[in-house]
Each structure stands twice: as structure tokens, then as C-alpha cells.
């Protein structure tokens, strides 16, 4: 496999949600890993592609892309994004001495408080619009958020 083909393959993998790809042939062993809080699908983790001298590299890249698209679609089914309804400062807890309203892995009900956004000295509670599991918190405590900025990803149950 030529270096340009490897670079192209790495660029394709980098643009996907794949966390781990392992490619082996008699003359090449390539493992690519990205760190994240997501759980990796074991089928994707153990995927192997034919990279023998007679292999069609365009077909291999196409197969990886197709698998990545399928995984992305499957991962995004029932994922709801809670976006900032106004610009303000994000607070993950009611006050500095208390714990966060939610953390990754928590199960929330529609109407549960996720955070507070402070705007013009007014504290605005932001509530979940769906019942489900918090799978990602996209902002840090005391971070300024813009109107429409995604703050949470919740997988509906």
C-alpha cells in the first residue's frame, strides 16, 4: 500500500465516528484508534479488510465508509440534542457547593433540569424535552454558550 493511499484512508477514517479500525495483510498491519467517551461497536472494532496485493483499495475505502455511515446512522437513532435557547453562561450545578444537575450516564425524565444559563443576571433553568440517558455533555461549567449551541445529547428510551 502506498503512503498516499494510507493517508487517504486515515483521512476517511478520521471523518467518521469509528473509534477503532484494524487492517491486516501479509505486508501491512494498520491499527487506528481515536479516544472518546462513546462505546465502540464490537463488530466495527474487529473489522478486517483484504489488503492483499490484488486488493482493490478503492473498494476497501468504500467498505469502511459504508460501515461508518451505517454505524453513524444506528448511533444517531433516537439521539436528541438539547441546544441553548439563549446566549449565556452555562452552569452545571445550582451553586458551586452542590453536585451537577446531570452527568453522562444519568437517566432523565422530560422536564428534569439539565443546567442553568445565566443571561443578564437572570438564572434560566434549562429542562430536558425528552426522557432518556445523557450520553454526552458538550459544554464545560461556566462556559459562555451561544444561542442554538448544542449542550447535551440524550438518547431517548
Locate the domains of the chain by residue range.
3-76, 79-156
pLDDT tens track, the chain, 157 positions: 666 777 777 777 777 777 777 777 766 677 777 754 444 444 444 445 555 555 566 676 777 767 766 666 666 667 899 999 999 999 999 999 999 999 999 999 999 999 999 999 999 999 999 999 999 999 999 999 999 999 999 998 8
96, with CB counted inside 10 A (0-12, 13-18, 19+), is exposed
- What 8-state DSSP symbol labels residue 142? T
As a whole number of angstroms, the distance between CA 107 and CA 20 comes to 27
DSSP 8-state code for residue 125? E
Q: What is the pTM of this model?
A: 0.54
Q: What is the 3-state composition of the chain as percent helix, strand, coil, each rounded to the nearest 5? A: 25, 30, 45
CA distance 77 to 72: 9
Topology classification of domain 79-156: OB fold (Dihydrolipoamide Acetyltransferase, E2P) (2.40.50)
Amino acid at each position: 500500500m502506498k503512503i498516499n493511499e494510507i493517508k487517504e484512508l486515515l483521512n476517511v477514517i478520521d471523518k467518521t465516528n469509528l473509534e477503532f479500525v484494524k487492517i491486516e495483510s501479509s505486508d501491512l498491519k494498520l491499527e487506528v484508534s481515536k479516544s472518546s467517551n462513546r462505546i465502540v461497536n464490537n463488530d466495527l472494532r474487529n473489522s478486517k479488510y483484504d489488503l492483499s496485493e490484488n486488493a482493490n483499495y478503492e473498494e476497501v475505502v468504500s467498505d469502511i465508509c459504508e460501515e461508518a455511515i451505517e454505524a453513524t446512522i444506528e448511533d444517531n437513532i433516537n439521539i436528541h440534542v438539547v441546544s441553548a435557547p439563549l446566549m449565556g453562561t452555562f452552569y452545571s450545578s445550582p451553586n458551586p457547593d452542590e453536585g451537577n444537575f446531570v452527568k453522562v450516564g444519568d437517566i432523565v425524565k422530560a422536564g428534569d433540569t439539565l443546567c442553568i444559563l445565566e443571561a443578564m443576571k437572570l438564572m434560566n433553568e434549562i429542562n430536558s424535552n425528552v426522557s432518556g440517558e445523557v450520553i454526552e455533555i458538550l459544554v464545560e461549567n461556566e462556559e459562555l454558550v451561544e444561542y442554538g449551541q448544542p449542550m447535551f445529547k440524550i438518547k431517548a428510551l
